[in-house]
Amino acid sequence: MPAEPADARRIPGEAGIWVLIGGDLSAFSAFFLVFAYYRGFDPALFAASHRQLDHGIGLANTLILLTSSLFVALAVQRVRSGREGAAIWLRLALACGGAFAVLKAVEYAQKLSAGITPLTNDFFMYYFAFTGVHLLHVVIGSGALVFAIGASRQQASAERTMIVECAAIFWHLVDLLWIILFALFYLAGGHG
């Protein structure tokens, strides 16, 4: 029997992690549908609240996460080709995660000091809830990156590739979910 090329139909990372990715994507899809549904009841309030968000911080955080995804992809490329040097790209991605969290904390602090809380209205309840759950994902993703940094220093092996790929997949999910949240809260203002 002819041997199949090693990478022919390989699932990136491992099959199990797609349970987590699929579950998370379903949950966030529900978030987005719920947000769109409730916006329909009070578009003026949602539009007015949308204008109170700090779009500069939102955009900066989007660029930070997109850059971090690039770093993670470069790390995966290194590991897949059996080369050294993945750890530096993963560290840079981790630093981006930290910067994202700091900016998010600044944004929350600004809102709270302006008297805007999850109790203010529905828009801000969803804003704090969804971005809060996303921030939890950033924390978990950062933990995964730390784990991957440790693994990337080991000798090249299938397991090393798998660990770095799994962390990368989760990090890309964190990035993807943020881009949709960014579009939903910061860009799609609606008409009020």
Asked if 133 touches other proteins (CB under 8 A), the answer is: yes
* Helices and strands (H, E) in the chain, number of each type: 6, 0
Q: Which is nearer to other proteins, 102 or 129 (CB)?
A: 129
Q: Which is nearer to other proteins, 129 or 187 (CB)?
A: 129
Asked if 176 touches other proteins (CB under 8 A), the answer is: no
Residue type, 94: L
Mark 127-138 as b/e (b = at least 16 C-beta within 10 Å): bbebbeebbebb
Alpha-carbon distance of 108 to 105, in angstroms, equals 5
Distance of closest approach, residue 94 Cβ to other proteins, in angstroms? 19
Give, in order, the Cα–Cα distances in Å from 118 to each of 24, 87, 91.
23, 39, 34
Question: Is the torsion defined by CA of 136, 141, 143, 146 positive or negative?
Answer: negative
Asked if 45 touches other proteins (CB under 8 A), the answer is: no
Binding to other proteins (CB under 8 A) within 51-110 occurs at: none
Q: Which is nearer to other proteins, 133 or 156 (CB)?
A: 133
Q: Both tokens of residue 144?
A: 């995964």
- Given candidates 12, 98, 118, 190, which one binds other proteins under the rule CB under 8 A? 118
Instruction: Give the DSSP H or E segment for 89.
Output: helix 86-113
Q: Which is nearer to other proteins, 92 or 118 (CB)?
A: 118
For residue 117, which phi and psi values (nearest 5 degrees)? -130, 175
Alpha-carbon distance of 26 to 22, in angstroms, equals 6
Distance of closest approach, residue 67 Cβ to other proteins, in angstroms? 25
Asked if 23 touches other proteins (CB under 8 A), the answer is: yes
Asked if 11 touches other proteins (CB under 8 A), the answer is: no
Asked if 38 touches other proteins (CB under 8 A), the answer is: yes
Q: Which residues of the shown chain bind other proteins in the complex (CB under 8 A)?
A: 14-17, 19-20, 23-24, 27, 30-31, 34, 38, 118-119, 122, 125, 129, 133, 136-137, 140, 159
